Structure 1
Amino acid sequence: MAKSNAKSKSVKAKSVNKASKAQEKQASESNTESKPEPTLDYEAQHASEATTEPRRCPSCGSTDIVYDAERGELVCNNCGLVIEENVTDTGPEWRAFDADQRNTRSRTGAPIKYMKPNKGLVTEIDMYNRDIRGARLPSKRQAQLYRMRKWHKRASIASSSERNYLIALPELNRVASYLGLPENIRESAALLYRQCVKNNLIRGRPIETVVNAALYATCRSAGMPRTLDEIAQISGVPKKEIGRAYRVISHELNLKIPLTDPISYVPRYVAALKLSGEAQEKAVALLKQAMKKGLVSGRSPTGVSAAAVYIAGALIGERRTQKEVADVAGVTEVTIRNRYRELKKELNLDVNL
């Protein structure tokens, strides 16, 4: 009986052990099922935490590390160790002190071209009809590209204002090229014309008139004046119409255009007459004396400037005739003689012409 009882007890213990092991196995499986596997977000979170850990100095272990923008170096502010040299500044070259400045100064991509109807922000299909290797495309492919160009042009120029720019901006570029004006003057004139269109100043006026008036105003504002006669002669628009449109633009847009300085005409006249730099310096000095005595006010700046160049050439032995100077300046010989007499009398010049 004792042996049978012992056997039964051992069997019961073994069954209890098996049951407990089975329960532990089920519990472990349930725990593994309930615990989610680490996802990419979890790993990325730990990676971001690792990357955001403050950088430490390899010498003293301090986290007080500063960036020297002038030398492009990372320096430990505690021990003075230069941790890294020639650090590239990937930030912008401008500074902003508030949100408005940050929004207006931040930019990406190529600069805006106001001389183009779409401001240069639209992709264009060229006219070369060649592939990437420079080989000429077959005729069927060329016909397809022709249709693509046509519809691309129609889609990119949809509004009436853009069609207006398609006429106005080439005219502005043509006149500016004849006048020898640089790119920045053309861009400023195109921007001013766009403001005129935006404020409906072009309504009831020809496009060519407003374009040339905007160009005239831009030249005066930039200190590179061109006369109304010059612009009218090149553009074919009457001088009075350009002047009238210019007055409307300056009044409606509240332009602060300074008075034309006679000195600004001197370099052009000297270069056209092939005079030396000494003649230019002498003419500028004469005009400064005339401006101090009030001889310029109420008179045409081109006439006074031409007379000063005429006198300066005679004083240094580089004489030019009155007709040559008058043709370059776009004034009459009578105007040069009158301004010459005034300058000679008021400035006490010892010159006989």
Structure 2
Amino acid sequence: MATDQTVSSRSTRDASQQSQSTLSCPECSGTLVTANREAHCRECGLIVDENQLDHGPEWFASEADSSRRRTGAPLTAGRHDRGLSTEIGRYRDGQGNTLSGQKRRQLNRLRREHRRSQWRSKRERNLATGLGEVRRLVSALGLSDSLREQACSLFRRAQKEDLCRGRSLEGVAAASVYAVSRCNGLGRPLEEISQVATCSRSQLECAYSAMNTELELPTAVPQPKSVLPRLATELGAPDEIQYRALELATIAANVGITTGRHPHGFAAACLYRAGQERGWMTSQQELAAVSNTSPKTIRAHRDTLLEVLEDQEKG
């Protein structure tokens, strides 16, 4: 109660000091009006003060409930019940106190029964298993939370269209992550996702092919500039080399020579050419190992890129 009185007295004191310091407009000496967290002049419209701090409480209490309880975590598509399920603790209560042995045994029994009654059907249980695999893959690949939500929503859509029937749940989950990365223009190859997935690459490709056909995914064509940052990071290339390689990839995309070519191989060729121009030497074997291509492919793309650069210099 004393805290509330202190906050209210502080806000009243700040408001009185502000009203005394801004009684008139500094431009035309007009009357100031305070509305929507800003003070402006009524005559000339000059904004004197804006984005004022609200020193009041950040909670709102009603007459029926005067407590300061929050509503909990927001809804998420990453869980089968949107995050509304109850989670029973293990060793400590809500106040942080250690539970006794008898209370822990009781909570273990409650947790077991709660786990058995958590899913109303086998379909919901499969959904929880698939979404858990999606969250694990996103965490292992270091993707953002927004991509995690998109992948979980895509898995829900695939299950709704009965694409999980006859296929591995882990394969559909990995395909959802791969499809989201491709739709957002990220350079995540199948090899990288299959290495952290618990399914085989054939299961991943089969599930992705079915999802791409049935769901009509807006898959973007992979470009060399989308995979360049990852290759440059793995090689430890300097920033100037990466910027020059991005310029070369943009020039090649504008001309149209990247169409129908392996994006990783062409990105490696851009890095190799940028390194030659800036004096950063790296072998073709290293580039081929990182980009999962061959040195012959890198040399062929490099020669094509050199022809375009020579034509631009002549023109």
8 A contact 1:263–1:305 mirrored in 2: yes
Partner of 2:238: 276
After superposition, the C-alpha distances for 1:106-133 in whole angstroms (9 at most, x for unaligned) are xx86422222232211121123x22355
Counterparts of 1:274 and 1:87, CA distance in 2? 46
Alpha carbons of 1:270 and 1:239: their partners in 2 closer, same or farther (altered >3 Å)?
A: same
Alignment partner of 2:310: what SS?
A: coil
Distance in 2 (alpha carbons) for counterparts of 1:294 and 1:167: 43
**Structure 1 residue aligned with 2:15:** none
The DSSP-based 3-state class of the residue aligned with 1:270 is helix
Pick 1 or 2: higher relative contact order, CA cutoff 8 A, min separation 6: 2
**Aligned-residue CA RMSD (Å):** 2.8
Q: CA deviation at 1:192?
A: 0.4
What's the counterpart of residue 139 of structure 1?
101
| C-alpha distance 111-241 of structure 1, shift in aligned 2 (>3 A) | same
Aligned position for 1:46: none
Residue number among 153, 159, 183 corresponding to 2:115 in the alignment:
153
CA deviations on 1:244-296 (whole Å, 9 max, x unpaired) are 32232122222222211221111111111111111111001111111122210
**Alignment partner, residue 332 of structure 1:** 294
**Residues 343, 239 of structure 1: alpha-carbon distance in 2 compared, 3 angstrom cutoff:** farther
Paired residue secondary structure (2:219): coil
After TM superposition, the score normalised by the length of structure 1 is 0.65
Alignment CA distance shift 1:167-1:294 (3 Å): same
Q: TM-score, normalised by structure 2?
A: 0.73
For the residues of structure 1 that align with 2:53 and 2:283, how far apart are their CA atoms? Answer: 64
Residue aligned with 1:175, SS: helix
Shift of 1:325: 1.8
CA distance in 1, matches of 2:94, 2:221: 54
Could you say which residue in structure 1 is the equivalent of 2:224? 262
Contact (CA 8 Å) 1:130, 1:137: kept in 2 or not?
yes
Give, in angstroms, the shift of residue 164 of structure 1. 0.8
Q: Is the Cα contact below 8 Å between 2:184 and 2:220 reproduced in 1?
A: no
Contact 2:182 2:219 survives alignment (8 Å)? yes
Distance 1:276 1:176, change over 3 A: same
Residue of 84, 87, 100 corresponding to 1:124 = 87
- State the alpha-carbon separation in 2 of the partners of residues 319 and 67 from structure 1: 64
Deviation at 1:67, TM superposition (A): 9.1
Structure 2 partner of 1:114: 77
How many angstroms does 1:348 deviate by?
2.7
Cα distance in 2 for partners of 1:272, 1:178 equals 17
Percent sequence identity over aligned pairs: 34
Deviation at 1:236, TM superposition (A): 5.0
Match of 1:71 in 2: 38
Q: SS state of the match for residue 320, structure 1?
A: coil
* Cα deviations by residue, 1:206-247 (Å, 9 ceiling, x for unpaired): 111111111111001122231112222332534343233223
Larger radius of gyration: 1
Maintained 8 Å contact 2:268/2:291: yes
Question: How far apart in 1 are the matches of 2:39 and 2:155?
Answer: 44
Question: 1:290 is matched by which residue type in structure 2?
Answer: A
In 1, Cα distance between equivalents of 2:200 and 2:252: 32
Shift of 1:144: 0.2
Letter in 2 for 1:149: R
* Structure-1 separation of matches of 2:233 and 2:248: 18
User: Hey, what's the Cα distance between the residues in 2 that align with 1:72 and 1:319?
Assistant: 61
Secondary structure in 1 matching 2:270: helix
Contact 1:260-1:301 at 8 Å conserved across structures: yes
Q: Does 1:181 align with 2:143?
A: yes
1:142–1:264 distance in 2 versus 1, CA, 3 Å = same
Deviation by residue 1:186-216 (Cα, 9 ceiling, x = unmatched)? 1211110011111111111111111111111
Offset from partner CA, 1:146-175 (integer Å, 9 cap, x none):
011111222222222321133222322332
2:170 is matched with which residue?
208
Unaligned stretches of 5+ in structure 2? 1-32, 44-50, 55-70
Amino acid in the other structure paired with 1:186: R
2:66 counterpart residue number: none
Q: Which amino acid aligns with 1:283?
A: A
Structure 1: gaps (5+ residues): 1-65, 78-84, 89-107
Amino acid of the structure 1 residue aligned with 2:308: E
2:273 maps to 311
Report the count of equivalent residues. Answer: 257
Q: How does 1:230-249 map to 2 (within 5 A)?
A: 230-235=192-197, 237-249=199-211
- C-alpha change, 1:285 and 1:150, in structure 2 (3 Å) is same
Contact 1:303–1:339 (Cα < 8 Å) also in 2: yes
Question: Counterparts of 1:12-161 in structure 2 under 5 Å?
Answer: 68-69=35-36, 71=38, 110-127=73-90, 129-161=91-123
- The one-letter code sitting in structure 2 at the alignment partner of 1:130 is R
Cα pair distance change 1:69/1:184, threshold 3 Å: same
* Paired residues of 1:130 and 1:136 also in contact (CA < 8 A): yes
